[in-house]
């Protein structure tokens, strides 16, 4: 699958026809300011055309600066940002989109994601609140401020109710995916419904890279474990979002178009013993807990 992809400018097609470059550059935990600005420019210099940020990363403004500094035209770059858990509801969502656009210094974003679902343990009206947030997404989509809409960290129990009420269906679900934590049931459910799945922490935030069994598989292809992780996602029809702050590693992580992982090794990688799981399960509402602790 996805073997039609031969370069960083090749694309997956979203349900509304929007083209999305097949590997995104991740920016979580990249410090705001010069570091994010320079890393984003390094990624664009290396040929990436898709940047993933979030309001909660606190670096949207520096992402925008890096893009402008690169000299690559805005319309040639796909920019994703995410709605934060403190901004749920229709009116707050409209304001959140406007705030993110202002931070980015842009008049539209390519993809906007609900970062984490509201869950029952937080509020009995969780379904209604998720639907209201989504209504704000739809409004900004219809106003041309967002080219494509999606969710992140949604399991079937969160996606199904949204699907019933949404007039514009989510086109993307961004989920944790890497050898050692693949959530294949959820991924296949999303793919069957026509959503593009994106892989967050495709390298397990670095935690899988020194595993000896993964190193042995990578050695067979004369590739690094990071390259195997990125390629694995692509071969599963999943769009990976690797992050690095090092120019050589940023470039190397995208050198994944000159080899194919065998079906047998794909199966091994997808059924690898648990390794590198972030521990963030949506039903535990980890993002809300974080937001609450920061507000204290």
CB of 113 to ligand NAP, least distance (A): 7
Residue 55 near ligand NAP by CB under 6 A? no
Residue whose C-beta lies closest to ligand NAP: 26
Q: Which region among 14-22, 141-149, 201-209, 212-220 touches ligand NAP (by CB under 6 A)? A: 201-209
Of the pair 116, 141, the CB lying nearest ligand NAP is at 116
Q: Give the residues across from 176 on adjacent strands.
A: 200
Residue whose entry in the numeric block shows the structure tokens 């999943």: 238
161-167's contacts with Cβ under 8 Å and 24+ in sequence apart are: 161/127, 161/130, 161/131, 162/127, 162/130, 162/131, 162/134, 163/193, 165/127, 165/131, 165/134, 166/131, 166/134, 166/138, 167/138
- Say whether 189 is catalytic: no
Q: Which region among 40-48, 58-66, 122-130, 196-204 touches ligand NAP (by CB under 6 A)? A: 196-204
Q: Which of 57, 112, 154, 181 is catalytic?
A: 57
CB of 12 to ligand NAP, least distance (A): 16
Of the pair 142, 216, the CB lying nearest ligand NAP is at 216
One of 241, 254, 269, 285 touching ligand NAP (CB under 6 A)? 241
Residue 245 near ligand NAP by CB under 6 A? yes
Residue 36 near ligand NAP by CB under 6 A? no
CB of 227 to ligand NAP, least distance (A): 7
CB of 174 to ligand NAP, least distance (A): 4
Q: Which residues bind ligand NAP (CB under 6 A)?
A: 26-29, 52, 115, 152-153, 174, 200-206, 209, 224, 226, 241-246, 249, 252-253
Q: Which residues does the annotation mark as catalytic? A: 57
């Amino acid at each position: 699958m996805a073997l039609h992809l031969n370069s960083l400018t090749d694309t997956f097609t979203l349900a509304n026809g929007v083209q999305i470059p097949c590997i995104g550059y991740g920016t979580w935990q990249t410090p705001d300011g010069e570091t994010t600005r320079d890393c984003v420019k390094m990624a664009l210099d290396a040929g990436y055309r898709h940047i993933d940020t979030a309001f909660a990363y606190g670096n949207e403004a520096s992402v925008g600066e890096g893009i402008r500094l690169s000299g690559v035209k805005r319309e040639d770059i796909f920019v994703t940002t995410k709605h934060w858990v403190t901004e749920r509801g229709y009116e707050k969502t409209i304001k959140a989109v406007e705030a993110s656009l202002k931070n980015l210094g842009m008049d539209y974003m390519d993809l906007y994601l609900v970062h984490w679902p509201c869950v029952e343990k937080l509020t009995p009206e969780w379904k209604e609140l998720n639907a209201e947030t989504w209504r704000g997404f739809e409004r900004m989509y219809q106003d041309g401020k967002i080219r494509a809409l999606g969710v992140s960290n949604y399991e079937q129990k969160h996606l199904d109710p949204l699907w019933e009420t949404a007039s514009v269906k989510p086109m993307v679900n961004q989920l944790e995916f890497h050898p050692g934590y693949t959530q294949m049931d959820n991924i296949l459910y999303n793919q069957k419904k026509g959503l593009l799945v994106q892989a967050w922490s495709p390298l397990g935030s670095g935690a899988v890279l020194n595993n000896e069994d993964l190193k042995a598989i990578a050695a067979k292809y004369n590739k690094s474990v990071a390259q195997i992780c990125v390629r694995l996602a692509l071969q599963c029809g999943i769009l990976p979002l690797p992050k690095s702050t090092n120019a050589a590693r940023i470039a190397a992580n995208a050198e994944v178009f000159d080899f194919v992982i065998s079906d047998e090794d794909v199966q091994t990688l997808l059924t690898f013993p648990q390794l590198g799981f972030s521990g963030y399960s949506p039903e535990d509402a980890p993002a809300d807990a974080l937001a609450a602790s920061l507000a204290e």
